[in-house]
Amino acid sequence: MSSQRLSNKVAIITGSSQGIGREICNQFSEEGALVVCSDLRPLGQGNDVATHEAITKKGGKAIFVSTDVSKADDWKALIAKTVQEFGRVDILVNNAGICTEANKPAPIDEVDEDAFDAHLRINSRGVFLGCKYVIQQMKKQEIHQSSGLRGWIVNFASMVSNIGMAGLTGYTASKGAVSAMTKTIALDVAKQGIVVNAICPGFTKTAMLDNALGAGASTDGGALGSSAARDAVLAALPRGRFGEAKDHARAAVYLASDDAAWVTGILLNVDGGLTAQ
């Protein structure tokens, strides 16, 4: 049974249409949040029902707002629509991101410059813009009596913020920027009652992992690339399994809850112990 840890909090989740973002929306709704699903399109890969529609069918409250996270005007419109619909913004989860390099890793001297720029534009600039404009809104809001906070921000970085990964220059650069920004932004707004943290996922069963392992496979526990590639990755994981979207969604619930009211500026590794080695 849900603990309703996010009861009546208004949460924006980017990259909501599939994978980790979709599961965050589901978990937040089960915990009582009013959910604003944000993505380029409402339907993601492998889904027949949009995330916000699935939530409302279960009795939750959710809307969808189309957003290109790399554009400031889209962020302004997203926040304005959220406030219009629900009156405030309590939580932002900056989950949207790309890793096109997973399809074809390349050493630094062969990196496509347009692809490099795209990673920075979406993964890094998207987080920057989201934090900038949601903090402007949060600063206008009253402090929550339960926690003494005005808002919670959860950014998604990556395990590659802590370790290198050959062939992924653009992705590692963009996620390293998210980690660094998270710490700095947390300090910028600490006295205003806003906490800012990041989750660093490890190898997780998503479309991105399928691409990295050379698969056109399912993301629900089916085959993940060649058996050799899969076994090699699994051998490096102390827990001996790939992560699930729910692993990250539950971590996001914690960081967006009153339980994390005195936690800010951290990079939470949700990677099955990979980076502890």
Active centre residues (catalytic):
171
Q: Quick one: which of 197, 71, 62, 194 has its CA closest to 130? A: 71
Token pair recorded at residue 160: 């590659």
Residues in the chain: 277
- Domains of the chain, first to last: 10-203+249-276 (3.40.50.720)
Task: Give the tens place of pLDDT for each residue, 80-117.
Answer: 999 999 999 999 999 999 998 888 889 999 999 999 99
For range 189-196, the mean pLDDT: 97
pTM for this predicted structure: 0.92
- State percent of the chain over pLDDT 90: 74
For range 218-226, the mean pLDDT: 43
Task: Give the tens place of pLDDT for each residue, 59-72.
Answer: 999 999 999 999 99
Token pair recorded at residue 209: 């992992």
How confident is residue 183, by pLDDT bands cut at 50, 70 and 90? very high
List strands edge to edge, sheet with 194-201.
62-66, 34-39, 10-14, 91-94, 151-156, 194-201, 267-270
Instruction: For residues 222 and 207, give the distance between their C-alpha atoms in angstroms, rounded to a whole number.
Output: 11
Q: Which residues contact 18 (CB under 8 A, 6 or more apart)?
A: 44, 45, 46, 47, 207
Phi, psi of 248 (to 5 degrees): -80, -35
Are 78 and 12 a contacting pair, CB within 8 Å? yes
